[in-house]
Amino acid sequence: MANVLKWTDRAVEEYAKLLDYLYEEWSEEIAQRVIAEINHTVSRIQNSPEQFPVFIKTKQVRRCVASPQTSIFFKIKKDYIEIVSLFDNRQDPKKRKL
């Protein structure tokens, strides 16, 4: 059985910004490809979250690399999985505030 997923407002905003960027700067085809990659990755997280390593031990944040350009950060809660952030791996890692 798949786990319940909840997206933080921050993660939803980052996802929307990513899609806006892809549609404006690349193409619909690229945007659709990225959407499919993220959907597939989120499904993997939902079905087997423990397979992804803990990235920040003190906060129990895990990281899943969705593509060379995008990482998804999440937490396993008692009753659900919380998607915390979508991060563009090409950015300065110091901008990653989890």
Render pLDDT for 29-45 as a digit per residue (tens, 0 to 9). Answer: 999 999 999 999 999 99
Q: What is the pTM of this model?
A: 0.88
Cα–Cα distance for residue pair 49/59, rounded to 1 Å: 16
- What's the chain's average pLDDT? 90
Cα 7–64–89 angle (5° rounding)? 95
pLDDT for res 67 = 87
Cα–Cα distance for residue pair 24/21, rounded to 1 Å: 5
pLDDT for res 96 = 61
Query: Sheet harboring 5-7: ordered strands across?
Result: 5-7, 81-88, 70-76, 61-67, 54-56
